[in-house]
Amino acid sequence: MATNAQVSIQPKCILCGQNNTIYYCYECKKALCKPCRTNKHDCIAANKKHIVTDLKCVDLTSLKNIPNCKEHNTDFSLYCTSCKVLICQECVTTTHSGHTFSTMKERAKLMKKEAEVHVVKMKDELAKSSTIINEIENNHLPEIENQVKYAVKEIKLAITEVNQVINSKSDMKITDIEGFQYSEEERLKIDLANRKHIHNRCLEVKSSFEKIIEEKHALTFLTAYTNMKGKIVDFEDIDQGPNECKPPPHFDRNLFVEDLIDGITSQFEKSDSSQIKTYHIYKDQIPRLIKENERLKLSEKQSKEILEQIDKEMKSLKDTTKILITNTESLHDLLSDMENKLKLSEQQSKQLLEQKEKELKTLEDTNEEMTKENETLHGLLNDIEIQLRLSEKQSEDVLERKDKEIKRLEDTYKVMKVKKESLQDQLSDIQSKLKLSENQYKDVLEEKEIELKRLEDRHVVMKAEKKSLQDLLNDIKSKFQISETESKEKERNRLEDNQNLLEAEKQSLQDLLNKSDNKFELSEKQFKQILEENGKEIKRLQDTHIVMKAEKRSLQDLLNDIKSQLEKEKLKSKEWVKLSEIHSKEILEKKERQFKRLEAEKESLQYIVNDLNSQLEKEKHKQQGRKK
């Protein structure tokens, strides 16, 4: 089927030189008008076996790329089944003597059947890949989102059932599940992108094979099929189906609450013995105070009131000690959570660094490939210049070869453009990933600042509680003035010990906070260094891209010069064609002689054809077995 470009540029008739051509002769490789075909071309006996078709059904661009025998500079006429290559008549007696042969029509029929099998297989595999893609898009991704949402809801319900101490642990659980969601979605998205890429490649190869199957000329079909056979996509990845959709980590609300309660009780048991001692000290003071009240011979009413006040104060002291214990435990939990989050952030930063290093390695490999391709292009350009110097005395075949080389150079130039675009896409991906990592880092910083503020607020509350305890102790001292100096000194020493213990705990908490701040500052510095190194590497890649652009421009200028030289040579070749028309009659006579010689050789090769038919039947049986 002809394209719009082929219809607009109509070739001239080989015999009359007019543009009203409607036929094309594959053997003559020229276009014909209707009167010249009926009155001149078909009247020659040697031309009766030529294949002539409608010009609209011929792709002229593909016909320009049809090769011939490089050893004898003649057209291909047979197919060597031993070597699996196209050969000419002279190759039968020279390089391929004693081999088995078949006609191009028979070989084209076999190849068309093989191509049809490939098309059917590709249709089945494309249907499989489309179902897999739909399953991933419509089922797996929504299932993951729904499951993760359900798990997050369950976690939030569990958070309402526990105290503020449990908030940090519940947040960690949520972040774990959301991290699973992010990693699982990224994995499925990568799988989906790869499958879509394979799917699109299969569609392109299938459409090209369908176009090739419609080709009627055997030689053009064989050349096009051999070129396209290497582009058949391997469907092993599609046959595997989608990766299994991993469910998120199972969350059991009751077990979660029980574990938290067990952890809280164990932490209470492991709490500082100093606070328990203070509680026992205040408890032991009650009988001593009663004895002192008896010594003072207070009235029963006053003693009862004092005892009630003491009980109330003891209860308040118990409550304050419990609050202190819970606060210290919550601070320890917060510090442990902070350390865990710092470890997680360090692991994530390491993973990001490894990914970026891999991507940079791939970019460097692609740059090396680009430089190698540039060197090959320079070599090809040098070869083209040498051939241009030699091509002034050659025929139209040399011009056609040069056209092929120019097309190949243009294809390589397009490939270079595509690779350049892919490199730019990779750079944009790296920049987007860097932005994402910066945003994640900022979020972690904000969370840590909030937690530090919470710790500071709790520290202030601890100070206030400490002051309230001191005030209560002072009130007790004022109410119960002890006559004995020894008891006063003992109580003062005990209170000072308690104050020292509280200050020691305060200093330990402050040290932990300072350590967490130092770790945080170190991780921040490392992240900044990594960002600076990535920025330098990106700049280096951008510089290499600029150099590649300059080299491409120089190559394009060379191609333009080559095209101008080729146009000059085409003008010279047209003059040579005019001269060659004078000698065309002699060439036709020579061809008639060659045709007679070929008929004689056909008789000698008839016995070879019989052997080939038997071998072809065997191959058909083998192909039928493969189809089954």
Q: pLDDT (tens digit, 9 = 90+) per residue, 87-134?
A: 888 888 888 888 888 888 888 888 888 888 888 888 888 888 788 878
Q: Are 399 and 573 spatial neighbours (Cβ–Cβ below 8 Å)? A: yes
What value does the mean pLDDT take over residues 529-542? 68
- Kindly tell me if the per-residue pLDDT of 80 is higher than 50: yes
With bands split at pLDDT 50, 70 and 90, how would you rate the model's confidence at 209?
Answer: confident
User: Taking all residues of the chain, what is their mean pLDDT, rounded to a whole number?
Assistant: 69
Q: Which of 91-100, 236-245, 579-588, 612-621 has the highest mean pLDDT?
A: 91-100
For 587, counting Cβ atoms within 10 Å of its Cβ (0-12 exposed, 13-18 middle, 19+ buried), the class is exposed
What pLDDT, on the 0 to 100 scale, is given for residue 214? 83
Q: Are 78 and 99 spatial neighbours (Cβ–Cβ below 8 Å)? A: no
Q: Are 141 and 305 spatial neighbours (Cβ–Cβ below 8 Å)? A: no
What pLDDT, on the 0 to 100 scale, is given for residue 330? 56
**In whole angstroms, what is the distance from residue 587 CA to residue 577 CA?**
13
* Helix, strand, coil percentages in the chain from 3-state DSSP, rounded to 5: 80, 5, 15
Nearest-CA neighbor of 191 among 144, 224, 225, 251? 144
- Answering whether pTM is above 0.75, one says no
Q: Are 147 and 177 spatial neighbours (Cβ–Cβ below 8 Å)? A: no
Among 10-24, 144-158, 386-400, 589-603, whose mean pLDDT is lowest?
386-400
Residue 22 bridge partners (DSSP) = none
What value does the mean pLDDT take over residues 275-282? 48
Q: Which two tokens stand for residue 426?
A: 């990779």
Q: What is each CA distance from 8 to 5, 29, 230, in whole angstroms?
A: 5, 19, 33
Among 51-60, 177-186, 416-425, 512-521, whose mean pLDDT is lowest?
512-521
- Kindly tell me if the per-residue pLDDT of 161 is higher than 60: no
Query: Using CA of residue 269, residue 273, residue 278, residue 282, what is the dihedral sign?
Result: positive
Query: From the centroid of its chain, how far is CA 168?
Result: 35
**In whole angstroms, what is the distance from residue 419 CA to residue 611 CA?**
50
**In whole angstroms, what is the distance from residue 185 CA to residue 331 CA?**
35
- How does pLDDT run across 297-318, given as a tens digit for each residue? 454 555 456 546 555 655 655 5
Domains and CATH numbers, the chain: 1-64 (3.30.160)
- Which residue carries 């601890």 as its tokens? 462
| Overall residue count recorded for the chain in this entry | 628
Which comes out higher in pLDDT, residue 356 or 156?
A: 156
What pLDDT, on the 0 to 100 scale, is given for residue 1? 39
What pLDDT, on the 0 to 100 scale, is given for residue 159? 60
CA angle 385, 388, 394 (to 5 degrees): 155
- Kindly tell me if the per-residue pLDDT of 442 is higher than 50: yes
Q: Which two tokens stand for residue 503?
A: 């200050």
